[in-house]
Amino acid sequence: MSRFDDLREQMVNYQLAARGLHDQSVLDAVNAVPREEFVPADLVEFAYSDSPLPIAASQTISQPYIVALMTAALELKPADRVLEVGTGSGYAAAVLAEIAEKVYTIERHKILADTARSRLAALGYRNIQVLHGDGTLGWPEHAPFDAIIVAAGGPQVPENLKQQLSVGGRLVIPVGSTLRTQKLLRVRRTGEHEFQEEDLGGVRFVPLIGAAGWEDETAGARAVEKTEASLPELIYQSSEHFARIDDANLDNLLERIGDSRLVLLGEASHGTAEFYEMRARITRELIEKKGFNIIAVEADWPDASHINHYIHGTAPDPLLESTPFSRFPTWMWANHSVLEFTHWLKAYNDKVSSPEKQAGFYGLDLYSLYGSIEVVLNYLEKVDPETAEVARVRYGCLMPWANDPAMYSQAVITRQYKECESDVVATLQDMLNRRMDYSRADGEKFFNAEQNARLVTSAERYYRTMYYAENNSWNLRDQHMFETLQSILAYRGAHSKAVIWEHNSHIGDARATEMSARGEFNIGQLVRQQYADMAYSIGFGTDHGTVAAASEWGGPMEVKQVQPSHIDSYEHVCHEVHADNFLLPLRKPIKEITHRELLAERLERAIGVIYRPETELQSHYFYASLPRQFDEYIWFDETRAVEPLGKQTIKGIPDTFPFGL
């Protein structure tokens, strides 16, 4: 069995049968069609993922589950003759042809019709005929049909198609007055002039364009509200423009943020200077004008602690020392943009006498496993030497993996090594049991040690599960970041207010992206669920420029050219706006129609510490609904790479960060 055969079988079992599709003829048909032959060559590795994929003419190949669901609704028999409206890649036609005697399929895009015709012939499908034309008119020359399937949403069921059904024939089509309120209908012809309709549930498809459908490509949008303006024009009318970050007027943004306790500031890459500098500008305003006193970032707790000590005057400048941010990727925090911001924070704290109002800088991430162990042991040795010795023995369970924590998971899975969970949890529990005694001497030092001990427990679980439960590892990481944020808020008191700096993929609500379909959540989702309108989430984006990133994990930092955005992406829409930089309100939009026009899912780009322009579409794009993901979006059309401080990764420090975001 080939790799694709195995993936196809898994798809049938877990994406179709496990979700309630039990028509064996449909399951067999899907299992017989090589979906990898119908997707672009650079996307074949995603051929059996449960998601639509982009193809030519700005169209998509539907997710396998939808193809199977609609095929099952047709109730096909081996002698049936089927009409398909919307050939696309030809994949659904091939599935239909595995069951029915003859398939007629119509595609309005000539490039898709020609490509599908050639592809299906090459794969040996002799019972499929492809026509380039208006599918809403049907194919009268070959009518009547036993079944008709329409792979696009129309404003109503085209009468032409109903009349081309045989008596007893079934028509399955998405119908809706807008593209966001579609329902999947099954129309059954019960007599010469009689038809029965069944509602099979809510769906969302691209618009059915043609004489009996929407007028043109933008008609589906005009069905929501008539407008002469294009989407880029609407965005221009709905956004606040600025030339330079220092010149941007943030008064309206602060008004929209209102009394929020949490403000989440994203980034579309880990190596873009404008993202760091605008986050710093917004954070300064929030600290000075709204009393925010916490900056919580996507960094390791011990490294961030060095900055926290510096801005409170209890340590020298950490970014000019060799201790913090020595792990790959060093440029993510050891850069001039962050250095300038930490100097501002120190100057601000020097002017504030009240400790409660001073700003604190904290790390939320969990990758400093061994650095955190060292912090805990050093603390315990000073306050409780006997407990320190016990903790040293317990933490010793993890020491064999100091140079490569990822190997810990493999060792546990293969039962070559015991789990260390009980040991690290016991150390944390001992500290919590002695909380009153320890914190009486120095509450801040105890809080720091406690958070490092919590980090060790989360990191142990993360590395133990990273290979057999990849999405669970992502969830463990973001759950840890959320819980750490909660601990910081509690420690700083009831009136504390936090700014969170993380990648868009962490602070945007995961429920508005394809992450949710994979069972993944993020800190942005958890914050919205907990704080609702008391949290305000801001995403960032760019079209082109330069970025600091590596080509592979652990590789050297390079200044890379950012590719112009994909034509089907939110970034491409923003690039068409006649303003280089702007703030776009989404929760409280200036124009409601702009918000509605942006709701339909589009591609969105995410660059982490690794950037691979040669495989950008599959490596760095995902589907999302921007207004559901963020409360605001900040756009920089052209951006530049962050400037690192020139420090090198210290030899011998484990690279514990296994992924790119």
Cα separation, 336 vs 645, whole angstroms: 6
Q: What pLDDT is stored for residue 649 in this prediction? A: 37
Choice between 659 and 316, residue whose per-residue pLDDT is larger:
316
Residue 653 CA from chain centroid, whole number: 30
Q: How confident is the model at residue 651 (pLDDT cuts 50, 70, 90)?
A: very low
Residue 108 is classified by DSSP as: S
* pTM, two decimal places: 0.64
Q: How many helices (H) and strands (E) does the chain have?
A: 25, 20
Contact 94, 38 (CB under 8 A): yes
Tokens of 305: 């602690």
Cα separation, 192 vs 523, whole angstroms: 57
Contact 525, 255 (CB under 8 A): no
Contact 365, 477 (CB under 8 A): yes
Contact 642, 330 (CB under 8 A): no
Q: What pLDDT is stored for residue 221 in this prediction? A: 43
Contact 104, 75 (CB under 8 A): no
607-628 burial code (b ≥16 CB/10 A, e <16): bbbbbbeeebbebbbebbbbbe
Tokens of 553: 């994990």
Judge whether residue 419 has pLDDT over 70. yes
- H-helix segments, 499-569: 504-507, 523-531
User: Closest Cα to residue 522, out of 532, 534, 511?
Assistant: 511
pLDDT tens column, 242-262: 999 999 999 999 999 999 999
- Residue 25 annotated as catalytic: no
- Whether the CA torsion 611, 246, 585, 359 is positive or negative: it is positive
Contact 335, 645 (CB under 8 A): yes
For 168, the enclosing helix (H) or strand (E) is strand 165-175
Average pLDDT over residues 155-173: 95
Average pLDDT over residues 564-585: 94
Q: What pLDDT is stored for residue 454 in this prediction? A: 87
- Top CATH class, 293-363: alpha beta
Indicate the burial class of 215 (C-beta count within 10 angstroms; 0-12, 13-18, 19 or more). middle
Tokens of 86: 């919307």
Judge whether residue 541 has pLDDT over 70. yes
Choice between 583 and 19, residue whose per-residue pLDDT is larger:
583
Judge whether residue 280 has pLDDT over 70. yes
Q: What pLDDT is stored for residue 653 in this prediction? A: 35
Q: What pLDDT is stored for residue 314 in this prediction? A: 82
DSSP SS3 for 186: strand
Average pLDDT over residues 333-339: 93
Cα separation, 653 vs 305, whole angstroms: 18
Judge whether residue 5 has pLDDT over 80. yes
Average pLDDT over residues 52-76: 88
ω into 144 cis (within 30 of 0): yes
Cα separation, 339 vs 336, whole angstroms: 5
Does domain 229-272+501-642 bear CATH number 3.40.1660.10?
yes
pLDDT tens column, 356-402: 999 999 999 988 888 888 888 988 888 888 888 988 888 888 888 77
Cα separation, 131 vs 122, whole angstroms: 17
pLDDT tens column, 203-215: 778 788 888 888 6
Residue 366 is classified by DSSP as: -
Contact 49, 35 (CB under 8 A): no
Residues 6+ apart with CB under 8 A from 18: none
Contact 576, 567 (CB under 8 A): no
pLDDT tens column, 517-530: 778 899 999 999 99
pLDDT tens column, 450-470: 888 888 888 888 877 765 554
Give the lowest-confidence range in 416-420, 499-503, 568-572: 416-420
Q: In angstroms, how far apart are the furthest CA atoms of the chain?
A: 91
DSSP SS3 for 163: helix
Q: For residue 310, how many C-alpha atoms fall within 13 Å in the half-sphere facing its CB? A: 23
- Whether the CA torsion 173, 171, 87, 42 is positive or negative: it is positive
Q: What pLDDT is stored for residue 239 in this prediction? A: 96
Judge whether residue 181 has pLDDT over 80. no
Give the lowest-confidence range in 183-187, 222-226, 535-539, 575-579: 222-226
Average pLDDT over residues 202-228: 64
Tokens of 463: 């590395």
Q: What pLDDT is stored for residue 416 in this prediction? A: 61
Q: What pLDDT is stored for residue 395 in this prediction? A: 85
Q: Which fold has domain 61-222?
A: Rossmann fold (3.40.50)
Cα separation, 20 vs 67, whole angstroms: 14
Q: How confident is the model at residue 648 (pLDDT cuts 50, 70, 90)?
A: very low
Tokens of 184: 């999947």
Quick count: other Cβ atoms within 10 Å of Cβ 351? 7
pLDDT, averaged across the chain = 87
Task: Give backbone dihedrals phi and psi of 575, rounded to 5 degrees, phi first.
Answer: -65, -30
Contact 234, 591 (CB under 8 A): yes
Judge whether residue 575 has pLDDT over 90. yes
Tokens of 149: 């399937």
Q: For residue 10, how many C-alpha atoms fall within 13 Å in the half-sphere facing its CB? A: 11
Judge whether residue 69 has pLDDT over 90. yes
Sorted by where each begins, the domain ranges of the chain are 61-222, 229-272+501-642, 293-363, 366-492
- Whether the CA torsion 224, 228, 232, 234 is positive or negative: it is negative
Q: What pLDDT is stored for residue 466 in this prediction? A: 62
Q: What pLDDT is stored for residue 101 in this prediction? A: 97
Distances (CA, A) of 198 to 73, 173, 204, 303, 637: 10, 11, 17, 60, 47
Torsion angle defined by CA atoms of residues 310, 316, 318 and 319, in that order, rounded to the nearest 10 degrees = 110
Q: What pLDDT is stored for residue 198 in this prediction? A: 94
- Amino acid at residue number 210: G
Q: What pLDDT is stored for residue 661 in this prediction? A: 44
Residue count (the chain): 661
User: Catalytic one among 62, 409, 458, 473?
Assistant: 62
Quick count: other Cβ atoms within 10 Å of Cβ 470? 13
Which residues does residue 82 pair with via DSSP β-bridges, in sequence order? Answer: 103, 147
Cα separation, 148 vs 447, whole angstroms: 66
Quick count: other Cβ atoms within 10 Å of Cβ 148? 29
Cα separation, 99 vs 26, whole angstroms: 7
Q: What pLDDT is stored for residue 595 in this prediction? A: 92
Torsion angle defined by CA atoms of residues 381, 383, 387 and 392, in that order, rounded to the nearest 10 degrees = -20
Contact 498, 489 (CB under 8 A): yes
Contact 315, 309 (CB under 8 A): yes
Tokens of 653: 């420090």
92-95 long-range contacts (CB < 8 A, ≥24 apart) are 92/62, 92/67, 92/149, 92/151, 93/120, 93/125, 93/128, 93/130, 94/33, 94/38, 94/120, 94/123, 94/125, 94/128, 95/26, 95/29, 95/30, 95/33, 95/67, 95/68, 95/71
